[in-house]
Amino acid sequence: MAKKENNRADHEQLLQAEAQTWDCILSFVRPYCITCAVELGIPDILHKNGIMTISDLVASLPNLNPSKISFLPILMRILVHSGLLHYQKEVDGYSVTSAGSLLVENEPFSKRSNFLFSQNPIALKPFFSLSHWLQDDLPTAFDTTYGKSMWDYCAEEPKFGHIFNDAMASDSKLISHLLINSEQCKHVFEGLTSLVDVGGGTGTVAMAIANAFPRLNCIVLDLPHVIGDRKGITTGNLEFVAGSMFDSIPYANAILLKFILHNWSDEDCVKLLRKCRESIPSKEKGGKVIVIDIVMEDYSSNNINEQLVQVQHLMDVVMRITHGAKERTKTEWEKLFLDAGFSEYKITANLGFRSLIEIYP
């Protein structure tokens, strides 16, 4: 009897292990199904019309081949299980969830551009080279795949660079909103008279800050191919400057580094932070560097948000294989700040999987 029970337990354990393995094997299906839905405009249609049945949705997708209509409920089921759609059984209809609304194209905090960039074949290809990269002497899997860094690729291939910049601008909209409207964040800009958004891209964050604080003069610093036609433009209290952050940073009360340092090695981060330190006044005169970046969770904590931790882990992988960089723990951040000559810092963990860090000379 005991032997039968043991065999049954072994079988159940084996079947559970098999299911877990198949879940890993088939995990690639979900993002491609979501990409399909986004490209068809399904989140946009549901967001505009509210609850819709499959028949309603088919009528709103005139280019859908009639022979493929039977696949639509299958696609919708994946979106429901992904938490992007809600199925309402009583009306046999679908609606977008809060997460699904972030894939709607013209929503203020849409992540649509981020998602499409993540599924772009150029961005995905380095992941197929991971095992080769681990055995060669190149700094990133992107170099292994394309023979150049991602930054050089973006500069040489404007179409891909534009897709990347759109994704970064999309991500900046939500961060801008939180920085300006959150009681825990907006204090960082109060009392400042000047700010440089280093690596500020197309200026999404700086524009929002400049509008919210009309007495604060904001400068966006980024590479010439990113700044583009905005170079030298001054509108009200916002100015665009083209240049390398490793060469020179305009002098200001404060410098903003939003999701910049995680793109670089420790050595490059120290170089950049030293440049920042040269470009701000003392703490007594209001000088500081404002960093928006990931601070890896303390895994001994009892209050861990598993989803946020998973995002941090996955982002760490992306940074390492794409940029030869990484996400950092509190201890690793502290070492960077001290090595760059800063004396004090403050971390406020209130930006989801990211944190607000203020560092002082």
Give the CATH number for residue 33: 1.10.10.10
Query: What range defines the domain where residue 287 resides?
Result: 111-360
The answer to whether residues 236 and 87 belong to one domain is: no
pLDDT of residue 196 exceeding 70, the answer is: yes
* Amino acid 240: pLDDT: 93
The token duo for 257 is 């580094």
The answer to whether residues 185 and 331 belong to one domain is: yes
List the catalytic residues.
262
* Amino acid 99: pLDDT: 95
- Note the pTM of the prediction, 2 decimals: 0.86
Q: How many structural domains is the chain composed of? A: 2
Count CB-CB contacts under 10 A for residue 16.
10
* Amino acid 90: pLDDT: 93
The answer to whether residues 13 and 156 belong to one domain is: no
The closest of 339, 337, 315, 335 to 327, measured between CA atoms, is 315
Domain final residue, candidates 102, 132, 158 = 102
The answer to whether residues 70 and 185 belong to one domain is: no
Domain final residue, candidates 79, 102, 125 = 102
The answer to whether residues 171 and 235 belong to one domain is: yes
Per-residue pLDDT tens digits for 38-61: 999 999 999 999 999 999 999 999
The answer to whether residues 81 and 157 belong to one domain is: no
The answer to whether residues 88 and 118 belong to one domain is: no
For the chain, percent helix, then strand, then coil, each to nearest 5? 55, 15, 30
Per-residue pLDDT tens digits for 109-140: 999 999 999 999 999 999 999 999 999 999 99
* Amino acid 233: pLDDT: 66
pLDDT of residue 231 exceeding 70, the answer is: no
